[in-house]
Every structure is written in structure tokens, then in C-alpha cells.
Amino acid sequence: MKPIPQHAGPADAEDRKSVKPEVCYPITTLPAYDPKPIDEARRDLQLINTTMIAPRDAQTFTVPAGHFFRVICPEGPQVGDLNLWNLNDLNERFFSGKTRALHGTHVSTGDRLWSSLPHFRPMATVTDDTLDWYGWDEYGGSVHDVIGTRCDPYTNVLLSESEYHYCCHSNLSRALARHSGLDVKEAELLVHDVLNVFMCTGFTQDTHQYFMKASPVRKGDYIEFFAEIDLLGGLSACPGGDCSASHSSDIAQCYPLQVDVLKPVNGPPIGWEPSPPSPYSRNHGV
């Protein structure tokens, strides 16, 4: 619970609170998402690679720029924690905070996943989402959030004094270490805040705390992305299963996840070019 206020409001308290909010980062000046060339490219896709992620584990996968990839629920309800890096520079990684600031707390078709500063460019664009029907529920919940940070052993020790070694943070660290040859402690520093694929989350209406509830995902559901640059992905099949009760548990029923990488047979969308770094970075730097 939040602390009870210790100070009485001033005479104009209601006036101060009633000020109309403004969107911090209006995106009307960004190029609008155009589904037509995307849908044309998606019309004929060739599967070039499938990666299976075992329950309570993580795997990496690569996606060439101009290709699509799908995160698929192949069996039972399961959520996943997704990391993205520039395949050629691991220091450029998914920037969940700025993605949230631009597109909102949850993403779906047409939203872009942005990379870290100073590169700050679209890494991938969501191009299909079989759970887009869910929208917002009565609790303010939705799916595919960029709110949560990923379950990690440090928070477990802080809150419950218990160690759990299959948190998504740990799984992703080990997976990146296997791919890169880095020591796990080095790889851990490159693991970052995630896109919680299929996870159903929001903020409670009283204390505005982050909540989770059973994911609506079912066998065959997927979310699809278009790679704007060469990507290295990391996906952890969360130890909380559908996250209806816990996200770090040996008790929760967990299922595998699947990543398919798909090549557009007739080439990438008409007019598409790989995403360049931020012009500010190119022209000025820091």
C-alpha cells in the first residue's frame, strides 16, 4: 500500500489536479505504419529457421534485416521475455522505456520496438498479433507489455530471501553467453528490460502497482515482427507459465515457446530500407 498522505491539500488542490494531461511524446511526425507493403511481402513467406525454447529456459536466434519472425505458443498458455540486440553490435539493444513512452504500455500491430541511445532507431515493427482482439479488460490489463523488467534472482532474494536460478534474467544471461562466448557475468550486463510477450498486465486502480493475470494466449497464437536491422534475439519461456499466480516458480505449469524466422520470397516490402541510426547520433554525438 502507498503511504497515507501526511499533508492537507492547499485551497487550490482540486484545480491543480484537474489540469488536462498532454502526451509527452506525440508521434504524429513519425512515418505512419503502412500495412499494404507489409501485407504484400507477407503474402508468400518461406520458413528458414525454427527455434524451440524449453520451459524455464531461454534460447537465442538471429533474424536478417528484411525478414519476419514470429513468437508462437505451440502447446499451452505460456508467456515469454524477449530481448533484442543488434546482431553486429550487442551494445545496441531494445529500449523498452522509450518504446513505452512512444507507443504506450503495451504494443501490437504497427508499433515499433526502438533501440538504445545513441542509435535510437526502430529495431523491429509488430506486423501481426493474433491477440489484438483482447484490447483492454475491466482491470486495465492488456497483453504484450513493455512495463515489466523481467523476473530476476536479485528481486527474489530481496522480497522473499529465496534463490531461484531459472528467472528470465538468468535464462537470458546464459543464452547470450552461449551464443557470444562471453562469460555469463559479462553477458548478464547486456541483458535488458524486455517485451513481455503474451503476458497480461496493467496497473492496479487503487495503488497503481504493476499486476499480472492469466494470459489469454492459447495454442497457435503468435505475435509477428519485421526486422528493421540484423537482429539477435533472446527469448525466455517464463517460469511462471501463463503468469496467473507467479513468475518465478517450479510449481507453475509451463510450456515451450517457438520462434520462426520467415523470408519474404519476393523480397522485402516495396520501398523498405534498413533502419539508419538516429540522425542526431550521426551529426553530433555526445
- String of DSSP letters for the chain: -PPPP-S---TTHHHHHTPPP--SS--TTSPPP-HHHHHHHHTSEEEEEEEEE-TT-EEEEEE-TT-EEEEE--SS---EEEEEEETTEEEEEB-HHHHHHHH-SB--TT-EEEBPTTT--EEEEEEEETTTT----TTS-EEEESS-----HHHHHHHHS---TTSHHHHHHHHHHHHH---HHHHHTT----EEEEEEEEE-TTT--EEEE-----TT-EEEEEESS-EEEEEEE-TTTT-SS-SS-SSS----EEEEEEEETT-SPTT--PPPPPHHHHHT--
Please classify residue 80 by burial: count the beta carbons closer than 10 Å to its beta carbon, then call 0-12 exposed, 13-18 middle and 19+ buried. Answer: buried
Residue 283 has pLDDT above 80, yes or no: no
Percentage of residues in the chain having pLDDT higher than 70:
99
Burial 191-201 (b: 16+ CB within 10 A, else e): bbbbbbbbbbb
Please classify residue 138 by burial: count the beta carbons closer than 10 Å to its beta carbon, then call 0-12 exposed, 13-18 middle and 19+ buried. Answer: exposed
- Bridging pattern class, strands 122-129 and 222-227: antiparallel
The three cell numbers of residue 199 are 503476458
Inter-residue contact 31 to 110 (CB < 8 Å): no
Residue 285 has pLDDT above 80, yes or no: no
Q: What type of residue sits at position 2? A: K
pTM recorded for the entire structure: 0.95
Residue 268 has pLDDT above 70, yes or no: yes
Inter-residue contact 249 to 239 (CB < 8 Å): yes
Task: For residue 94, tell me if it sits in a domain.
Answer: yes
Taking phi over 0 as left and psi of -120 to 50 as alpha, with beta for the rest, 224 belongs to beta
| 51-68 pLDDT per residue, tens | 999 999 999 999 999 999
Instruction: Of 1-10, 93-102, 105-114, 150-159, give the lowest mean pLDDT range.
Output: 1-10
Averaged pLDDT for residues 250-277 = 95
The whole-angstrom separation of Cα 45 and Cα 261 is 9
Report pLDDT for 286. Answer: 62
| 178-231 pLDDT per residue, tens | 999 999 999 999 999 999 999 999 999 999 999 999 999 999 999 999 999 999
Report pLDDT for 43. Answer: 96
Percentage of residues in the chain having pLDDT higher than 90:
89
Task: For residue 44, tell me if it sits in a domain.
Answer: no
The whole-angstrom separation of Cα 33 and Cα 125 is 9
Task: For residue 221, tell me if it sits in a domain.
Answer: yes
Total domain count for the chain?
1
Question: Across the chain, what does the average pLDDT equal?
Answer: 95
Report pLDDT for 4. Answer: 85
The three cell numbers of residue 217 are 494466449
Residue 130 has pLDDT above 90, yes or no: yes
Task: For residue 204, tell me if it sits in a domain.
Answer: yes
Task: For residue 28, tell me if it sits in a domain.
Answer: no
Residue 95 has pLDDT above 80, yes or no: yes
- Enumerate the β-bridge partners of residue 210: 203
Task: For residue 145, tell me if it sits in a domain.
Answer: yes
Q: In the structure, what pLDDT confidence band is assigned to residue 158 with cuts at 50, 70 and 90?
A: very high
Which one, of 80, 158, 149, 141, lies nearest residue 106 by Cα? 141
| 4-42 pLDDT per residue, tens | 889 999 999 999 999 999 999 999 999 999 999 999 999
Report pLDDT for 247. Answer: 78
Task: For residue 246, tell me if it sits in a domain.
Answer: yes
Task: For residue 274, tell me if it sits in a domain.
Answer: no
Tell me the torsion sign for CA atoms 156, 174, 95, 36. negative
Give me the domain span that covers residue 163: 49-265
Residue 1 has pLDDT above 80, yes or no: no
The three cell numbers of residue 245 are 499466480
